[in-house]
Amino acid sequence: MFTGSTKLPPTKTPQPERLDEVYAALRRELYDAYCIQRRLRDGASKMVAAFNSASGSKEARESLSEANKGYRECTEHMCSLESELESQMGEFHVKMKGLAGFARLCAGDQYEVLMRYGRQRWRLRGRVEVSNKQIWDSEEYIFLPLITELLSIKVTELKSLANHVVVGSVSCEMLDLFCPLPQTLAVDINDLGTVKLNLEVTWRY
């Protein structure tokens, strides 16, 4: 017998108008402020160039000093806003799905995959089993999104302690990964595309 009642949580209703207002406010905190600093920095840069080509009078030197100061301040503000934006960009959850090499992969082969994204690194090693199943010592990693960096991927075949062969090295753009649904990527590692690295990337914000 149930002696009490359970209240179901109220059904949420989308609020598109309110979301538009919040997004506009966030845009004014970050992007619009960044654009203003960029315009001010461009102006300061032109002033520096103009005063550098002017006569070496005391007034010109003082104006050049002020223009340089303004340029440095705008640069600092822009870098600060870029860091603030990066802190709001969520996370990339990357899952290793294995290498695909057609006839290139054989049982017993061992590989190392190194991914670099700015100062972030994910190094993992794996081997191909007799059943063609791949065993990797790490299967998932979280990268924090960056504004200016590409994802660098390098795959090396580990033949012996002193004999490593680089299969290929590529750089990948991350902009298309800002997607609310998981994405499966097949990255061509070598020029011929005979070796691919399969990844699943989920952007969580």
Residue 61 lies in domain: 16-87
Q: Which long-range contacts (CB under 8 A, 24 or more apart) does 97-101 make?
A: 97/184, 97/198, 97/199, 97/200, 98/126, 98/134, 98/136, 98/198, 99/126, 99/134, 99/155, 99/189, 99/195, 99/196, 99/197, 99/198, 100/186, 100/195, 100/196, 100/197, 100/198, 101/194, 101/195, 101/196
CA dihedral (155, 160, 162, 168) in degrees, to 10, reads -20
CATH number, domain containing residue 59: 1.10.287
CATH number, domain containing residue 168: 2.60.40.150
Domain end among 56, 87, 118: 87
pLDDT value of position 119: 96
Measure CA 134 to chain center: 27
Domain end among 87, 105, 124: 87
pLDDT value of position 2: 44
Are 150 and 83 contained in the same domain?
no
pTM beyond 0.85: no
Assigned token pair, 36: 């203003």
Are 102 and 74 contained in the same domain?
no
Are 75 and 147 contained in the same domain?
no
Are 62 and 124 contained in the same domain?
no
Q: What is the pLDDT along the chain (205 residues), one digit of tens a residue?
A: 445 555 666 778 888 898 889 888 878 888 999 999 999 999 999 999 988 887 778 888 888 999 999 999 999 999 999 999 999 899 999 999 999 987 788 999 999 999 999 999 999 999 999 998 999 999 999 999 999 999 999 999 998 777 899 999 999 999 999 998 999 999 999 988 889 999 999 999 8
Are 110 and 181 contained in the same domain?
yes
Are 77 and 105 contained in the same domain?
no
pLDDT value of position 120: 98
pLDDT value of position 24: 87
